[in-house]
Amino acid sequence: MGRDDRLDLIRGYAMGVIALTHLNVIFDNLGMQERQLPVPGDFSFTSAAELFFLLSGYMVGMIYLGRGNVVAKTITRAGEIYRINFVAFAIALAIAWFGGAELATATDADYTLAAPLRGIVEFLLMRQHPYLLGVLQVYVILMLLTPLAAGLLARSPYLLAIPSLALYLAVQIYPEWNLYGGGPHDMPRVWNFNPLAWQLPFCAGMMAGRVRLHTHAFKWIGAEAWRPWALIAVAIVFVVLHRLDVRDLIDIPFTDKANLGVTRLVNTAILLGGLAALLALGRSYLGWWPFRLLAMLGRQTLYCYAASIVLTYAVGWMWLSSGRAYLAYFASAVCLIALLLAVAYGRERLTKRPQQPAAAGT
């Protein structure tokens, strides 16, 4: 069965949003005071990261499960993610070193640069990470645990769903629980994505991908004219709630990112429904070149995410070198997206666009 470009479009959307969000954060850390480009996370309790974990698990369930050699395939994939993350780490660390103390502090690279041997060993052991480099560490853990999850899922969906949900709820009750207990207090960026919580969207995605749920979902959405608009309306309600919360008019609980609060999780499902509704409404336009570029980005998310780490560090350095010019910020955003598209295009040319999408690894 051929690939569904609608999945690639959602993954491409998530990749673009993540790249621009990280760009804004690095400029915040560097002390930028001017107004930044708005990103969807400014209007939502969720970010594209939750969407990425869900869709990565979905790809694992759709591609790997039920086709044999799950252990070999997932371990190979985990090794690939680990190696790519280390390359990104090495390049990003070099940029932070050349960029000076301010860039190193803004990216948490100062911890490793202060004691390189200790920092590199701890990164290799996935005990700490500079800014942006922790996501793929969590993916490595999840991919290594995929054979166990696949074995449980093969016997019954409940054997995977119940322990996954129980573990997630336990973290909500005891938020201090972490894979390494949070690590030493002087160690920055230790598991700011708690794997014990973030495994839930990954496992839920696996279960959905195994039955190719998207085919049924898109069919259901398109069956009645009112359904896409209803999904969009619910998404707008959450936008309004977020704005009221930001303005301190109401207080929405359970929005923690590190432990993936329940509100964020629900908002992720609402966001996914809204995106699916937009794709259903605009299905006659999906062949236009902007959407083709977005789908291309979605097919190469692992390499694009790793490249975005390096590019985010690089544009931060360039902005400092430019004297913090406001125009340089906008130029950085344009260059970042353009270079990510170039990476995606180069990767597609190199692999000659295989018919099966790569699973996991953002």
Q: Where are the alpha helices (DSSP H) in the chain?
A: 5-29, 48-63, 70-99, 101-106, 110-114, 116-124, 135-155, 157-173, 195-210, 213-223, 226-246, 262-281, 289-299, 301-321, 326-351
The answer to whether residue 360 sits within a structural domain is no
Give the mean pLDDT of 101-110.
Answer: 94
In the chain, % of residues over pLDDT 70: 93
Number of domains in the chain: 1
Which residues form the domain of 99? 5-351
The answer to whether residue 113 sits within a structural domain is yes
The answer to whether residue 128 sits within a structural domain is yes
The answer to whether residue 333 sits within a structural domain is yes
- pLDDT of res. 186: 52
CA–CA distance, 219 with 167 (Å, rounded to integer): 33
- pLDDT of res. 358: 52
The answer to whether residue 179 sits within a structural domain is yes
The answer to whether residue 357 sits within a structural domain is no
- In tens, the pLDDT along 189-227 reads 666 788 999 999 999 999 999 999 999 999 999 999 999
The answer to whether residue 152 sits within a structural domain is yes
Taking Cα atoms as reference points, which of 334, 314, 229, 339 lies closest to residue 276? Answer: 229
* Intra-chain end-to-end CA distance of the chain, in Å: 23
- In tens, the pLDDT along 164-182 reads 999 999 999 988 887 765 4
- pLDDT of res. 264: 95
Give the mean pLDDT of 23-46.
Answer: 93
Indicate if the pLDDT at residue 183 is higher than 50.
no
Q: Tell me if the pTM is above 0.85.
A: yes
The lowest-confidence range among 60-69, 81-90, 300-309 is: 60-69
The answer to whether residue 356 sits within a structural domain is no
